[in-house]
Structure 1
Amino acid sequence: MSAGVPEPAQASPAPPTKPAYKGWAGIRRAFGTPSALTMAVLGFGCGLPFLPIASMTLSTRLRDSGLELHDIGLISLASFFYLFKFLWAPLLDRYVFRPLGFLGRRRSWLVGAQLGVGLGLAALAFTRPELGVAPLVGWVLFCSFAGATQDSVVDAYRIEIAPADAQAALAATYTLGYRIGLILGGAGALYLADFAGWKVAYLGMAALMALPLLATLLSREPATPELSVQRRIDFIGAFWQPFASFFRNNGVTFGIALLLFVGLFKFPDQVIGVMAGPFYLDSGYTKADIATVSKLYGIWAGIGGAFLGGVCVAAFGFRRMLLVAALGVALSNLAFLLMAQYPSQIWAFYAAITADNVAQGFAGTTLVAFMSSLTDRNFTATQFALMVSLANLPGKFAGGLSGYLVEASSYATFFTLSAMTVVPTLLLLAWLWPRIREAAPAPASG
């Protein structure tokens, strides 16, 4: 993908002083907008490729092909573009994708990225890991770049397509679509692989990318708001100003501490992600078991955890929920010890997945609320992409080496040590606690 015609940076809308709609009437009006359905389908397109190219579906396929655990861990690093999408996010804000420029700035990049994801998944269907991993790594790199670009553009599109009072509804429908995409990219791919082979599974995922592609082509390009004087920045400034703004607003010491906290917050969960698929297989579960429990039931457990997190953050604020979420993510790792003690027992699988996915969903919602409070609305896309990348980066790299730790000890030791990695997070939170600012509740209408 290449950049083309420069586009003016967009002004950041001023946040409203209070919600425009309240209660059930506001919910109906927000969720009833056409953009809500569009975001559900675009969210589906973002969630669909993640597991087949960057997480458990890929690692399960590699283990099923006979690869060693340390090789699987290292190959997982090929999806690193998801961790660094903030590096080219400023280009997506300032340029159109020239070959499709007639679609507009947002839709040109989105269609290009969706076509790239579909092509990459189709190509992965024809790779043979057991004959050599080089072609597979190359296509995972290509597909992860396209998928990460798609994620960044959809985030920007969601903000620009609807007014501020509809943003919560769009985020909710996006999340629902994303989770359904995860179900099909996880459970759906594993079911197909179990009954028809990995080639059919990956070709099926590639075909499903036609849905978000069609939604993009039928949707409208967001209107370009009036140019803000503060956002009239040159090419170089598009890269450094978002970062300079973050440290200018927070100070260097506090800013670094915030970024470290975001990077470590979900580390206990991220570090075990690569080994999850191989652990399930090595514990005696079939691909169909994994699909049913982990990628079907588990996704809905995660949705429940996300809604629980949203309710608790609304009721108590995100600061106290950060502590609850950090402890929950770490302690949920210990639930996998049940599976290590009772291999092949389906009840142990359900118990571990319930604890893990509810904790993940709760922590994800809490972290999004926290990161949103740190974002300068003049640089929303770039700063949010940076923090999302930081939230996954440390655990991703540690996960790449996790196979060596399991081979040197045991799965039980690995899960115990992963839970203990929450200690630096808790120490940072203790230091940040009196310094974290929460917005005052919006005044009630009427």
Structure 2
Amino acid sequence: MLFLGFSAGLPLLLVLGTLSFRLREAGIDRTTIGYLTWVGLAYGFKWAWAPLVDRLPLPWLTRALGRRRSWLLASQIAIIGGLLGMALTDPVSALQTLVVFTLIVAFASATQDIALDAYRIESAAIDKQAALAATYQTGYRLGTIWAGAGVLFIAARAAGDVGAEGIDATRYVAAAWTIAYLVMAASIVVGVVAVLLAPEPAGSEARADIAAQEQALAHRLHIDRGISPATARLLAWLQAAVVGPFADFIRRFRWHALLLLALIATYRISDVVMGVMAFPFYVDMGYSKDEVAAISKVYGVIMTLAGAFVGGVLALRFGVMRILFVGAVLSAASNLLFAWLATRGHDPTGLIFVISADNLSQGIASAAFIAYLSSLTNVAYSATQYALFSSVMLLLPKFIAGFSGSFVDAYGYVAFFHATAWIGAPVLILVWLAARARLAHGSPSQ
């Protein structure tokens, strides 16, 4: 799960944060960079094709690897292809082409997330999900650090920035970014190997029941309605794969479903909206690729591992909802530290402190949030329901984040970071309400 988490975390920054650094260094304006982050909306709409990933077998691959691993492998191959295209495209001369390859990576990465979330949920019981989520989150965060700090570290050395006197370390060198993205494409092989070596999760009784209900419905449609067998099977499949997961969620939580969706839609809003402008902020403050890479590589890794471990342990000890509340507070508070850093100009020591605090808070919040989402999922519809939750989680934040460049241009970084902290305040109320609703359902995980 650690290596699969690494493979899942790697593409995200390559189409968002790291790409923003690359574009800003290439001279692309902040407003355009902000709008280009809307490619991340692919993660917000993955529920639309999640039923296909959940139920549709892939020719040959599914027979050889099983349903979950076959979709994981197919999506990883598509990610590698998209990253190769991004590596060989210069945004200065072919920005639109780069956007096309970025979209390919984003959609393939979202598909990988669908299959991997289902794989994780089906691999352990509910009471083990917090520990499994912590392991997954550790790998995921290591993947994002490699896609952030690792890319910058490689690009800086490929450009000859390190140790060269009289050279502007913030200058744009297209060939350096090509090398860095080629290395990232090769790094996805870690996930490919993990997929080939990992076992396929055993089919659950719930999934078997759904399959039996689908066959029974197809039979009734054919006999009672006189529908052709092929059409009856298609309608029964749509009922089980598309309508069923959403109906099951509403049936289990009733009116609380709206509260839960509101919490899911806003929990990550502070760090997602802020994260879009983090890398352009580093460039504008005069930090070189090597400075950001070195600080993220050392302090980011340590605090990420600590955050994921602490979040998982605390969730098991004190309950998911309490740590969910703590994580929301820490995520908003870390954005205020970026506002403080914006007043200090080029301050490597301050950057160390801020990146450390940000990675620690995100590690704690993410571990608790993943465990919480997993607890809401019915294993019979694991891929579709978790895709719905994680899509809702990103849809609103990613849409708002698209305007972040325009906001920074109009009001500056300090006001922007303050705003991203305060928009997380309503989340605290939603967590409290969701905890009360959870108590009302008699859940022990508080």
TM-score, normalized by the shorter chain, greater than 0.5: yes
> Structure 2: which amino acid aligns with 1:96?
P
Segments of 5+ residues of structure 1 without an aligned counterpart are 1-38
Query: Relative to structure 1, is the Cα distance of residues 401 and 441 closer, same or farther in structure 2, using a 3 angstrom cutoff?
Result: closer
Deviation at 1:167, TM superposition (A): 5.6
Q: Residue in 1 aligned with 2:278?
A: 276
Q: Residue in 1 aligned with 2:40?
A: 79
Alignment partner of 1:95 is 2:75: no
Deviation at 1:280, TM superposition (A): 0.9
**TM-score normalised by the chain length of structure 1:** 0.84
Alignment partner of 1:228 is 2:190: no
Deviation at 1:166, TM superposition (A): 6.7
Contact 1:187/1:296 (8 A) holds in 2: no
1:355-400 Cα deviation digits (max 9, x unpaired): 2221111111222232233223332222122111222221111111
- Equivalent residues, number: 402
Query: Relative to structure 1, is the Cα distance of residues 327 and 158 closer, same or farther in structure 2, using a 3 angstrom cutoff?
Result: closer
Q: Residue in 2 aligned with 1:395?
A: 397
Pick from 65, 87, 91: which aligns with 2:26?
Answer: 65
More moved, 243-252 vs 302-311: 302-311
Q: Residue in 1 aligned with 2:418?
A: 416
Query: Relative to structure 1, is the Cα distance of residues 202 and 340 closer, same or farther in structure 2, using a 3 angstrom cutoff?
Result: same
* Percent identity of paired positions between Structure 1 and Structure 2: 42
More moved, 408-417 vs 218-227: 218-227
Query: Residues 28-427 of structure 1 correspond to what in structure 2 (within 5 A)?
Result: 39-53=1-15, 55-98=16-59, 100-103=61-64, 104-161=66-123, 170-196=132-158, 197-225=176-204, 228-231=208-211, 232-233=213-214, 234-237=236-239, 238-252=241-255, 254-427=256-429
| Separation in 1, partners of 2:252, 2:18 | 41
1:259-286 Cα deviation digits (max 9, x unpaired): 0111111211111111000001111211
1:347 alignment partner, SS class: helix
1:297-340 Cα deviation digits (max 9, x unpaired): 22431221222222322232233333322222112111012211
2:57 alignment partner, SS class: strand
Deviation at 1:228, TM superposition (A): 3.0
| Separation in 1, partners of 2:445, 2:324 | 18
Contact 1:182/1:299 (8 A) holds in 2: no
Query: Relative to structure 1, is the Cα distance of residues 127 and 166 closer, same or farther in structure 2, using a 3 angstrom cutoff?
Result: same
| Separation in 2, partners of 1:43, 1:433 | 28
2:43 alignment partner, SS class: helix
Contact 2:121/2:374 (8 A) holds in 1: no
Query: Relative to structure 1, is the Cα distance of residues 295 and 396 closer, same or farther in structure 2, using a 3 angstrom cutoff?
Result: farther
**TM-score normalised by the chain length of structure 2:** 0.84
Deviation at 1:294, TM superposition (A): 3.1
Deviation at 1:40, TM superposition (A): 2.4
> Structure 1: which amino acid aligns with 2:386?
F
Query: Relative to structure 1, is the Cα distance of residues 176 and 242 closer, same or farther in structure 2, using a 3 angstrom cutoff?
Result: same
More moved, 42-51 vs 55-64: 42-51
Deviation at 1:204, TM superposition (A): 0.7
| Separation in 2, partners of 1:42, 1:89 | 19
> Structure 2: which amino acid aligns with 1:260?
A
> Structure 2: which amino acid aligns with 1:228?
A
Contact 2:245/2:385 (8 A) holds in 1: yes
Contact 2:286/2:346 (8 A) holds in 1: yes
Contact 1:44/1:181 (8 A) holds in 2: yes
> Structure 2: which amino acid aligns with 1:245?
D
Question: What's the C-alpha RMSD, in Å, of the aligned pairs?
Answer: 2.3
| Separation in 2, partners of 1:363, 1:168 | 12
Deviation at 1:172, TM superposition (A): 4.1
More moved, 372-381 vs 267-276: 372-381
Contact 1:188/1:291 (8 A) holds in 2: yes
1:412-446 Cα deviation digits (max 9, x unpaired): 0111111111232234345444323363379xxxx
| Separation in 2, partners of 1:349, 1:240 | 48
Deviation at 1:223, TM superposition (A): 4.2
Contact 1:322/1:363 (8 A) holds in 2: yes
| Separation in 1, partners of 2:136, 2:332 | 27
> Structure 2: which amino acid aligns with 1:87?
A
Query: Relative to structure 1, is the Cα distance of residues 167 and 364 closer, same or farther in structure 2, using a 3 angstrom cutoff?
Result: closer
> Structure 2: which amino acid aligns with 1:90?
P
Deviation at 1:116, TM superposition (A): 0.5
1:124-161 Cα deviation digits (max 9, x unpaired): 01111111321111111111111111122122223445
